[in-house]
């Protein structure tokens, strides 16, 4: 069993996040299904629907993980998808999936830091991030980097955990995230600390209007937030500005 201390302790968050996801990569999909009770699939469908993918568009999937969001894009529309992630082990799983699905001609996976991506300015028509911005070392810089690689007017959708607004449901969810989720995550992944990090990071992350303010500060416009599943997660949408500074 491997142990990872809460993100924020030495080493740096970027390196620690990469090591943590490398460790849980082999069982990551199973963990998602079990810990979300299958809801993660519906969340991804909702995020792709909110983006409104069009044929032949070039889509960026930031923090792609094992590629499920990228494959959902391709299931709905014949686009070209580039998935970026800092964890090589997660990308290995994603590439194997692409081969099994016969999707290798339409999707590619690149190991890169979301805050310093190896792409020219304005090369993507749209971008998606699912449960990834919470792991950025510098949130504003990561959002700004996404904006940089989008063409003027391009769409962006961020799917991220948030805090339930209902007091009763918030209490139930809080107990689940603090007690059940870390225990089950540890048992299934055999990585101590990985799923204790999850509720801690959710509580520390800005959500709702606070996250929209971060997107606005990074230069995005036409911003909207939509809580889903009683506010456990939210879909944030916006656009890159039409003009460049």
CB 124 within 8 A of CB 58: yes
pTM tops 0.85, yes or no: yes
For the stretch 204-229, pLDDT in tens is 899 999 999 999 999 999 999 999 99
DSSP state letter for 94: H
Nearest by Cα to 159 from 28, 61, 17: 61
Per-residue pLDDT at 66: 96
| Residues contacting 191, CB < 8 A, separation 6+ | 1, 2, 3, 4, 20, 23, 24, 185
Residue with tokens 């992944």: 189
3-state class of 188 per DSSP? helix
Per-residue pLDDT at 203: 82
Can you read off the two tokens belonging to residue 236?
Answer: 């944030």
For the stretch 13-27, pLDDT in tens is 778 888 888 888 888
């Amino acid at each position: 069993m491997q142990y990872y201390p809460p993100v924020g302790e030495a080493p740096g968050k970027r390196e620690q996040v990469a090591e943590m996801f490398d460790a849980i990569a082999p069982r990551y999909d199973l963990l998602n299904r079990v810990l979300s009770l299958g809801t993660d699939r519906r969340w991804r469908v909702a995020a792709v629907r909110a983006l409104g993918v069009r044929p032949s568009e070039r889509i960026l999937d930031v923090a792609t993980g094992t590629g499920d969001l990228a494959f959902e894009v391709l299931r709905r529309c014949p686009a070209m998808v580039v998935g970026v992630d800092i964890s090589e082990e997660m990308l290995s799983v994603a590439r194997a999936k692409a081969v099994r699905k016969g999707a290798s001609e339409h999707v590619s996976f690149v190991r890169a830091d979301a805050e310093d991506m190896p792409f020219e300015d304005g090369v993507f028509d749209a971008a998606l991030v699912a449960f990834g911005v919470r792991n950025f070392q510098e949130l504003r810089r990561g959002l700004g980097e996404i904006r940089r690689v989008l063409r003027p007017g391009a769409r962006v959708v961020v799917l991220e955990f948030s805090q339930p607004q209902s007091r009763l449901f918030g209490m139930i969810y809080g107990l689940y995230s603090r007690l059940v989720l870390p225990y089950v995550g540890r048992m299934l992944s055999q990585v101590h600390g990985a799923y204790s990090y999850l509720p801690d990071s959710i509580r520390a992350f800005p959500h709702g209007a606070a996250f929209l303010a971060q997107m606005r500060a990074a230069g995005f416009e036409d911003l909207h937030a939509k809580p889903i599943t009683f506010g456990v997660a939210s879909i944030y949408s916006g656009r890159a500005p039409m003009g460049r500074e």
